[in-house]
């Protein structure tokens, strides 16, 4: 009797692992898409400027991301609709139009930066961006246009594996684990303007509107309903935690290598910064991570825009549909891929474009998050799956903090533009 019982106990963890792997999907994809080219540069800059001091903030950001993504997934599963579709039904036409137009502008700039990230990653391997960017654009476009949602999802999940390059870089960096632990468990904030700005950038690059829009729409597109939601909830929470663990790995690895040396302006600099401790493999590790991150986001960002516009108008939207069945949805996706890749090949400082895009996202993010909170609180939308009183308090606090930080960085940027204050 002892041996069968032992075998049964051994099978339980294996069965739980299989359940978790089977549940992987929109949650993992949406969260990992946030670790794009701009995210990598921001996390590396945090480690380079302030060593481990932003780790406690990342704990708070992780909680906020889990809360926001869980509400988005729940809305998609229990209503069978995306966020913009729900906004269109529950709010006025003007409100819905404002959300969609803002998203279109911000996401197009993000698509450009993602293709720039693909070009920068492959240039580290000696491949010209004039070859890599067009090939990547065609490949990403083909995966979505000619494949079903399930097929595209598998490709996106494979791209997420590239993020394992960063934990490897962390281990090779030999960080001071006692300082890592103390800074993670207790705040070590710095009363400086540049620290506050970086803190806002960390929030902005971790919680962005396209992640929530993609999450809800992809859940609905996959056909996940209330009965399937427990698994999707596992996927959402697990994906958010995994994505932010990767972000923390980037901060720690860079801090261990060049902590206190000042800000970094690009992901390429972050790769070179690790060479003293990781060696010649630093560029390869960061290039692989940057390539996978940028390619994943280059697919997810235009998809979130296409979902949003199609939902706002009320037309067919699904990766599983043919071009003739969803012309607006797939046409908009195609146009963004083509335009984003083309502009990414033009000369110029795309880092400046990325920074301005993050400021624009800073304006949009609180708006989208407030919509998500209101919809998740409405029993007419979610029925018994509505936010519980305790969850409502946690979500309100998390979203209020994100909104306050977004208002601060936007005001700081505006003051900087007109020559007032330290911005």
pLDDT higher than 90, residue 10: no
Place of tokens 């390059």: 165
**Domain tally, the chain:** 1
CA 130 from chain centre, in angstroms, equals: 26
pLDDT higher than 70, residue 9: no
Is residue 343 domain-resident?
A: yes
* Predicted confidence band of residue 359 (pLDDT cuts 50, 70, 90): low
Q: Is pTM, for the whole model, over 0.85? A: no
* Predicted confidence band of residue 74 (pLDDT cuts 50, 70, 90): very high
Counting Cα atoms < 13 Å in the Cβ hemisphere of 161 gives: 6
Is residue 352 domain-resident?
A: yes
Summarize pLDDT for 376-389 with one digit per residue, the tens.
Answer: 999 999 999 999 99
Angle between helices 83-90 and 350-377 (to 10 degrees): 50
Over residues 143-168, the mean pLDDT reads: 71
Over residues 267-295, the mean pLDDT reads: 69
Structural domain boundaries enclosing 141: 34-417
Local structure of residue 164 (DSSP, 8 states): G
CATH of the domain at 340: 1.20.1740.10
pLDDT higher than 60, residue 398: yes
Residue 309: per-residue pLDDT: 81
pLDDT higher than 50, residue 11: no
Is residue 25 domain-resident?
A: no
Is residue 60 domain-resident?
A: yes
Buried-exposed string 367-396: b where 16+ CB fall within 10 A, e elsewhere = bbbebbbebbbeeebbeebbbeeeeeeebe
Is residue 24 domain-resident?
A: no
Is residue 178 domain-resident?
A: yes
Answer yes or no: are the C-beta atoms of 170 and 249 closer than 8 Å.
yes
Is residue 4 domain-resident?
A: no
């Amino acid at each position: 009797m002892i041996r069968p019982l032992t075998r049964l106990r051994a099978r339980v963890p294996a069965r739980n692992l299989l359940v978790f792997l089977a549940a992987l999907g929109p949650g993992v994809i949406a969260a990992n898409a946030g670790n794009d080219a701009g995210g990598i540069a921001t996390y590396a800059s945090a480690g380079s400027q302030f060593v481990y001091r932003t780790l406690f903030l990342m704990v708070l950001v992780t909680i906020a991301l889990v809360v926001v993504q869980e509400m988005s997934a729940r809305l998609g599963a229990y209503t069978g609709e995306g966020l913009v579709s729900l906004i269109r039904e529950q709010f006025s036409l003007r409100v819905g139009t404002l959300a969609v137009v803002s998203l279109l502008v911000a996401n197009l700039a993000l698509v450009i930066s993602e293709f720039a990230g693909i070009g920068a990653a492959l240039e580290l391997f000696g491949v010209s961006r004039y070859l890599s960017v067009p090939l990547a654009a065609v490949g990403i476009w083909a995966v979505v246009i000619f494949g079903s949602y399930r097929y595209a999802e598998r490709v996106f999940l494979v791209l997420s594996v590239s993020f394992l390059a960063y934990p490897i870089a962390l281990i090779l960096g030999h960080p001071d684990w006692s300082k890592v632990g103390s800074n993670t468990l207790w705040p070590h904030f710095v009363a400086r303007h540049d620290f506050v700005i970086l803190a806002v950038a960390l929030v902005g690059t971790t919680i962005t509107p396209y992640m929530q829009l993609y999450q809800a729409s992809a859940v609905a597109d996959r056909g996940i309903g209330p009965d399937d939601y427990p698994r999707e909830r596992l996927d959402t929470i697990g994906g958010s935690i995994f994505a932010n663990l990767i972000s923390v790995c980037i901060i720690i690895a860079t801090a261990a290598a060049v902590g206190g040396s000042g800000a970094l302006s690009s992901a390429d600099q972050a790769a070179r910064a690790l060479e003293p401790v990781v060696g010649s493999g630093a560029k390869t590790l960061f290039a692989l991570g940057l390539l996978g991150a940028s390619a994943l986001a280059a697919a997810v960002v235009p998809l979130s825009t296409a979902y949003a516009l199609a939902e706002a108008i009320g037309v067919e939207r699904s990766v599983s549909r043919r071009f003739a069945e969803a012309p607006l949805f797939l046409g908009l996706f195609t146009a963004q891929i083509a335009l984003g890749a083309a502009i990414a090949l033009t000369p110029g400082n795309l880092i400046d474009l990325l920074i301005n895009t993050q400021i624009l996202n800073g304006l949009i993010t609180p708006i989208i998050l407030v919509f998500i909170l209101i919809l998740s609180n409405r029993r007419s939308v979610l029925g018994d799956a509505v936010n519980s009183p305790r969850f409502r308090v946690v979500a309100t606090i998390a979203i209020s903090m994100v909104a306050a930080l977004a208002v601060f960085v936007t005001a700081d940027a505006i003051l900087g533009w007109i020559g007032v204050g330290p911005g």
